[in-house]
């Protein structure tokens, strides 16, 4: 059934889609196989696609849809669940998409079965009832759809047994296709150029806001985008951002100050990259600041030198932990907020993670060829400051291909 239905290719021309039609059809076929393996004929995939990319990941991956509404607006007498959409996926068929967008640009969508609603929850409920669905349905996005809307849908579809399967789509997009890898390379070039502009501005003593403007302008000029431009320096180096409201302040570093900066988010085509570097204003580090940066680079190198197909995350993390402990630093804000040495990159940062506590990592987690992931490390010493680094890369047959190959040392 599935092979017969999926063999019929769409003949409609798609205009400005980045990925071709067949890329999406391959994704659907992969999802259908995963559904069948788990005993599902129907899956309901949720996305929040207005205002932010953070929870658009699975629906963007399957349908390339993103709402132009401003965000999750409060419910009103006119609309309900604005910013949310759901794709009904049936084995052997292209997805049926239900959204809050009345008139999307159809030539940007790989699907034909599109429905808009002022209330996407009710619209999806009606569509499921029309199909006379009973029994088990995979629910992808239990961590995405708010409780209020979940209860509305359950009440409207009493004959359906929803089973949470939040990793169903995430698992099939862990290994990237050749087109995705090329897209990541393009995004890596964009964000590397942007972060280079930012770093040079900070080294020259520009304000954080001026440096963010320089980096952001370069990324925008190339057609990319970001979620946060995070900058701090000097006494604020203990934190990732001098001003948590926006990510950067209007303060300027002094010569010798430790600075760090990250540009991260859906850099290109909704896929996330998140490189960061620490450096010294004026390129004149104190001896202690130089040592702190060099020690953090050692941890980064320890992570990257062990990555190859078949390497277990637990072993890579244990090697990094050994080097980390050898340089004898103190626990910092970063350690408690992000207790890992890296993560997978996709439509956000995702599992599997390189946890800083190797014993917590599942034994079955291992690197595979064509995964996209990161290495990251944070070190702090009292009286010196905090430094942080992150690099994104592709897992190759023999090791890694760096997507964001900025210099580690800037002095």
pLDDT of residue 15: 61
Whether 195 shows a pLDDT value over 60: the answer reads yes
C-beta of residue 94 within 8 angstroms of C-beta of residue 104? no
Eight-state DSSP code of residue 164: E
C-beta of residue 271 within 8 angstroms of C-beta of residue 180? yes
Over the chain, what is the mean pLDDT? 94
The mean pLDDT value for 397-406 works out to 97
Q: What is the DSSP string of 171-202?
A: HHTSBPPHHHHHHHHHHHHHHHHHHHHHHHHH
Pairing of strands 96-99, 84-90: antiparallel
C-beta of residue 238 within 8 angstroms of C-beta of residue 386? yes
Whether 169 shows a pLDDT value over 60: the answer reads yes
Q: Is residue 47 part of a domain?
A: yes
Residues 270 and 236 in one domain: yes
Work out the percent of the chain whose per-residue pLDDT is above 70.
96
Q: What is the DSSP string of 298-323?
A: HHHHHHHHT-STT-BHHHHHHHHHHH
C-beta of residue 47 within 8 angstroms of C-beta of residue 56? yes
- Given 172, 203, 218, the domain boundary residue is 172
Whether 407 shows a pLDDT value over 70: the answer reads yes
The mean pLDDT value for 393-408 works out to 97
Is pLDDT larger for residue 218 or for residue 106? 218
Residues 203 and 325 in one domain: yes
Residues 194 and 258 in one domain: yes
Q: Is residue 94 part of a domain?
A: yes
Residues 163 and 194 in one domain: no
Residues 272 and 292 in one domain: yes
The mean pLDDT value for 170-178 works out to 97
Q: Is residue 409 part of a domain?
A: no
Q: Is residue 407 part of a domain?
A: no
Read off the pLDDT of residues 355-382 as tens digits, 9 standing for 90 and up: 999 999 999 999 999 999 999 999 999 9
Read off the pLDDT of residues 233-244 as tens digits, 9 standing for 90 and up: 999 999 999 999
- Confidence category of residue 85, pLDDT binned at 50, 70, 90: very high
C-alpha–C-alpha distance, residues 20 and 7, integer Å: 16
Eight-state DSSP code of residue 55: B
Q: Is residue 411 part of a domain?
A: no
Q: Is residue 259 part of a domain?
A: yes
Paired with 55 in beta bridges are 48
Residues 77 and 148 in one domain: yes
Domain harbouring 149, CATH code: 3.40.350.10
Cα 237 off chain centre by: 24
3 state DSSP class of 49: coil
Of 196, 213, 382, 400, nearest to 279 by C-alpha is 196
Residues 325 and 250 in one domain: yes
Is pLDDT larger for residue 10 or for residue 49? 49
- Given 172, 195, 211, the domain boundary residue is 172
Cα 170 off chain centre by: 11
Residue range(s) defining the domain that contains residue 275: 178-402
Count of domains observed in the chain: 2
- Confidence category of residue 338, pLDDT binned at 50, 70, 90: confident
C-alpha–C-alpha distance, residues 289 and 371, integer Å: 34
Paired with 344 in beta bridges are 350, 373
Read off the pLDDT of residues 222-233 as tens digits, 9 standing for 90 and up: 999 999 999 999
Whether 11 shows a pLDDT value over 70: the answer reads no
The mean pLDDT value for 376-403 works out to 96
Q: Is residue 162 part of a domain?
A: yes
Rounded to the nearest 10 degrees, how much is the dihedral formed by the CA atoms of 252, 253, 259, 265? 0
Of 320, 349, 128, 319, nearest to 227 by C-alpha is 349
Q: What is the DSSP string of 222-242?
A: TT---SEEEEEEGGGGGSS-S
Is pLDDT larger for residue 296 or for residue 330? 296
Residues 49 and 184 in one domain: no
pLDDT of residue 335: 77
Residues 218 and 141 in one domain: no
C-beta of residue 238 within 8 angstroms of C-beta of residue 332? yes
Residues 121 and 218 in one domain: no
- Given 156, 172, 188, the domain boundary residue is 172
- Confidence category of residue 330, pLDDT binned at 50, 70, 90: confident
Domain harbouring 315, CATH code: 3.90.230.10
pLDDT of residue 104: 85
Tokens at residue 229, please?
A: 């431009």
3 state DSSP class of 249: coil
Per-residue CA distances from 30 to 3, 61, 351 (Å) = 11, 12, 19
Residues 98 and 81 in one domain: yes
Read off the pLDDT of residues 141-155 as tens digits, 9 standing for 90 and up: 999 999 999 999 999
Buried b (16+ CB within 10 A) or exposed e, 77-105: eebbbbbbbbbbbbbbebbbbbbbbeebe
Residues 84 and 231 in one domain: no
Residue with the two structure tokens 């702190």? 292
Whether 267 shows a pLDDT value over 50: the answer reads yes
Read off the pLDDT of residues 35-68 as tens digits, 9 standing for 90 and up: 999 999 999 999 999 998 889 999 999 999 999 9
Q: Is residue 408 part of a domain?
A: no
């Amino acid at each position: 059934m599935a092979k017969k239905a999926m063999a019929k290719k769409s003949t409609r021309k798609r205009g400005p889609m980045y990925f071709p039609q067949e890329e999406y059809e391959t994704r659907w076929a992969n999802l259908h196989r995963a559904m069948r393996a788990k005993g599902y004929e129907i899956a309901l995939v949720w996305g929040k696609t207005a205002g932010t990319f953070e929870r658009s990941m699975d629906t963007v991956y399957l349908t390339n849809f993103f709402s132009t509404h401003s965000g999750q607006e409060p419910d009103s007498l006119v609309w309900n669940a604005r910013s949310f959409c759901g794709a009904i996926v049936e084995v052997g068929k292209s997805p049926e998409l239900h959204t809050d967008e009345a008139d999307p640009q159809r030539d940007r969508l790989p699907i034909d079965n599109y429905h808009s609603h002022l209330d996407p929850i009710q619209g999806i409920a009606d569509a499921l009832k029309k199909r006379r669905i009973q029994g088990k349905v995979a629910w992808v996005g239990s961590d995405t759809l708010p409780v209020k809307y979940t209860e509305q849908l359950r009440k409207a579809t009493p004959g359906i047994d929803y089973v949470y399967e939040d990793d169903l789509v995430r698992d099939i997009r862990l290994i990237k296709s050749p087109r995705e890898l090329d897209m990541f390379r393009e995004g890596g070039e964009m964000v590397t150029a942007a972060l280079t502009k930012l770093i040079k501005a900070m080294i020259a003593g520009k304000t954080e806001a001026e440096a963010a403007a320089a980096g952001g302008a370069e990324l925008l000029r190339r057609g990319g985008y970001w979620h946060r431009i995070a900058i701090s320096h000097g006494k604020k180096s203990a934190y990732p951002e001098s001003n948590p409201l926006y990510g950067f302040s209007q303060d300027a570093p002094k010569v010798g100050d430790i600075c760090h900066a990250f540009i991260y988010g859906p850099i290109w085509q909704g896929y996330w990259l998140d490189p960061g570097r620490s450096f010294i204003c004026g390129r004149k580090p104190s001896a202690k600041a130089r040592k702190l940066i060099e020690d953090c680079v050692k941890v980064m190198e320890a992570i990257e030198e062990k990555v190859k197909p078949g390497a277990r995350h637990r072993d890579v993390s244990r090697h990094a932990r050994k080097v980390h402990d050898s340089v004898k630093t103190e626990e910092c804000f970063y350690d408690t907020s992000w207790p890992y040495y890296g993560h997978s990159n996709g439509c956000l940062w995702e599992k599997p993670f390189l946890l800083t506590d190797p014993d917590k990592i599942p034994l079955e987690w291992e690197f595979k060829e064509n995964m996209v992931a990161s290495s990251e490390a944070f070190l702090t010493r009292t009286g010196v400051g905090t430094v942080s680094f992150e690099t994104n890369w592709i897992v190759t047959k023999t090791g890694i291909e760096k997507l964001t190959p900025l210099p580690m040392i800037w002095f």
